Structure 1
């Protein structure tokens, strides 16, 4: 089963558009993990097992693992998700984008080494920098469009020329190009931040039913109702709404997994209220 098919099935099976981001920060782990040499894996595994019934996807952030020298924990975590929670796709948040030969190795890293179902990618080196990902029609390519960080406007809002001689913001040009020219295998998604509901609406109008990965709900302050009302597709889906810190660190005590499950369930209910 390809990534897009798995995602659509999961939207229905779990009645959820929630994605839990797996961004381990050992300084925030409960005290029970203090003397655990495999704390990163065990903490993330417990979060996954507790929240799986409430989510449509998991999104491990590769830098959080690599900075800790925990790449092996990341491999084992993704394997655990596939084995224990089959049918829930894994999006590797790596934001890759480089010249073609290097991009090929990044694609192998994501899809062969880590066995991710999809990977985030940066389009700003042009199509050849993401072509090795696009060529994998069975895997997802989640491409940055209008991100949730405060500095997003520095480049993404710059006016660029239209074919008709007018101008539009760069992020709209990126969205149009990906939907029209890059999505030949139907395996593309766009990253559009929850903190910009107006831009969500504009990008949805440009790309039709292409799914969005929407970060920024929770700790970054994105409004759930604004996200869903501006970006859902006509059938009430089309979104992977990501929350990391608000779920992972819902409690610092021994009830951390239970609290994470409650946070994920609450977010699912909030989203479904507006679908």
Structure 2
């Protein structure tokens, strides 16, 4: 390698358009090794590794063998590791997952073993003993190190969450280590989105190695969105069992690579929308559209004041039923424009209307946006073809979920699950009105971004400003809204 490790990783990520790090972890249990013997287990490990390498090399940004699994099989295991490394194409970086953490001549010996004997390009290290652990590895100027920061195991918080100067210890580790050298990356769990976001704030330029995807509960797309740098790079999303245990590792790796590509595209799209300052004209147009929307809510009696008994049994001082919009063509045109405004900040291929109130609204949004529409059957029909989705679509299509309003996420999550079961992606939900905050929390928990044209409190504010309700009525409405 004629350049530094992270410089090369950056160049390769651009060239291959991938952020996938593939683990080579033949995890035989002690009882398996005792029963079958080290030689047989090592032979199986080598066979599996070669199959994975052959099928996935074109999708991998790097390969990452965990050295412990090979050491557990003694000489036969280490021989299998050497043979595995020899079969990895020269242009693909090798990260040895060793988590070494010693000092002085011991650390020097570890560095020699990893970089000199195994010829690895990078290694994972435990920084608990400080600079005396890291410096022997950093002296290999063309290699890289990934320092354990926030790990993916369930008990990680025992030490890593200890508060230091009002920040978790892992955040302090990230800041200290990333300031050391451009050759220092960080191990940050892909199944801990909060940690990914926190560490990215204190280490904006560092490369992350993020395990915990698949078997440990992490999602590649969410990990990327939480941990990527502002330029849409800087994260190696690591997967091992989800690839090695797949019937076809090549297909599993291809799917993960493509998931990460789409996550990168969505990340950059969202960043561009966020940084693009809307013009005064655009802001005025949205404000005008909201005034028109409030007017049609009243004229169509979609919003009414009074005393109403809700499904829950609660008495409400207002009632919203957006199904009346379909009886007024002008109201539907306004709704279509409102959805188009929301959709401008989303990256999608197709609109997914949620039955039943969302279907006519999805239709008008489809016409306004010039985008195709589908809808999930809820529940699925038990006759005819028995299909779960109406309309034409392709596996991998990104669906913009659409409904009239949201209070909780229950029906939205049901629709999302049906769409995902058929190979579709759901990242965003658009609604005209948001009531309360429970629905937003529900959707965020599912990894879906909620975009609402208007919160019900905005509606109350508009009614107060145009003299439709008094200050006292406004307070009552807002207070009740807090109980939803």
Question: Under a length normalisation based on structure 2, what TM-score does the superposition of the two structures give?
Answer: 0.50
1:35 shift after superposition: 6.7
CA distance in 2, matches of 1:73, 1:263: 24
Structure-to-structure mapping, 1:90-101, within 5 angstroms: 90-101=94-105
Aligned to 1:18: 20
For 2:23 and 2:67, the matched residues in 1 are separated by 11
Matched, 1:77 2:66: no
Q: In 2 relative to 1, CA 102–270 (structure 1 residues): closer, same or farther, beyond 3 Å?
A: same
What is the alpha-carbon distance in structure 2 between the residues aligned to residue 231 and residue 118 of structure 1? 20
Do residues 169 (structure 1) and 168 (structure 2) align? yes
Counterpart-to-counterpart distance in 1, 2:41 and 2:169: 47
Checking the alignment, whether the CA contact within 8 Å between 1:160 and 1:170 is kept in structure 2 is yes
The whole-number CA distance in structure 1 between the counterparts of 2:23 and 2:40 is 24
Q: Secondary structure at the match of 1:240?
A: strand
Deviation string 1:65-92 (CA, Å, 9 cap, x unpaired) is 11012111111211221xxx22110000
CA distance, structure 1, for counterparts of residue 127 and residue 16 of structure 2: 31
Shift of 1:36: 8.5
Is residue 100–residue 131 contact of structure 1 (8 Å, CA) maintained in 2? no
- 1:262 is aligned to 251
The whole-number CA distance in structure 1 between the counterparts of 2:204 and 2:217 is: 26
TM-aligned CA deviation for residue 26 of structure 1: 5.3
Residue 3 of structure 1 aligns with which residue? 5
Q: Is the 8 A contact 2:42 2:73 kept in 1?
A: no
- Equivalent position of 2:390 in the other structure: none
**Separation in 1, partners of 2:17, 2:137:** 29
Task: Name the residue aligned to 1:254.
Answer: none
- SS of the equivalent of 1:16 reads coil
Question: Match for residue 147 of structure 1?
Answer: 151
Partner of 2:46: 41
- Note if 1:120 corresponds to 2:124: yes
**Structure 1 SS opposite 2:114:** helix
Q: Note if contact 1:213-1:239 (Cα within 8 Å) is conserved in structure 2.
A: yes
CA–CA distance in 2 between the matches of 1:246 and 1:48?
15
Instruction: Give the deviation of 1:49 after TM superposition.
Output: 1.2
Whole-Å separation in 1 of the counterparts to 2:11 and 2:244: 25
Quote the residue 2:183 is aligned against.
Answer: 187
Q: Distance in 2 between matches of 1:35 and 1:93?
A: 23
CA distance in 2, matches of 1:221, 1:128: 34
- Give the CA deviation at 1:135: 1.7
1:273 is aligned to 262
Runs of 4+ in 1 over 4 A off after TM superposition: 34-37
Number of residue pairs the alignment of both structures matches:
252
Hey, what does 2:205 align to over in structure 1?
209
Which residue number in structure 2 is paired with residue 178 of structure 1?
Answer: 177
The answer to whether the Cα contact below 8 Å between 2:224 and 2:237 also exists between their aligned partners in 1 is no
The CA RMSD measured in Å over matched residues stands at 1.7
Assess if the C-alpha contact under 8 Å between 2:28 and 2:41 holds in 1: no
Q: Larger relative CO (CA 8 A, sep 6+): 1 or 2?
A: 1
Alpha-carbon contact 2:42-2:80 (below 8 Å) kept: no
d(CA) in 1 for partners of 2:83, 2:220:
32
Which runs of no fewer than 5 residues in structure 2 stay unpaired? 33-38, 265-484
Name structure 1 gaps, 5 residues minimum. Answer: 29-33, 162-166, 252-258
Correspondence for 1:236 among 232, 237, 240: 232
TM-score normalized by the length of structure 1: 0.87
For each residue in 1:147-168, what CA deviation from the matched residue of structure 2 results, as whole angstroms up to 9, or x when unmatched?
111111000010123xxxxx32
Question: Is the Cα contact below 8 Å between 2:178 and 2:186 reproduced in 1?
Answer: no
d(CA) in 2 for partners of 1:191, 1:36: 29
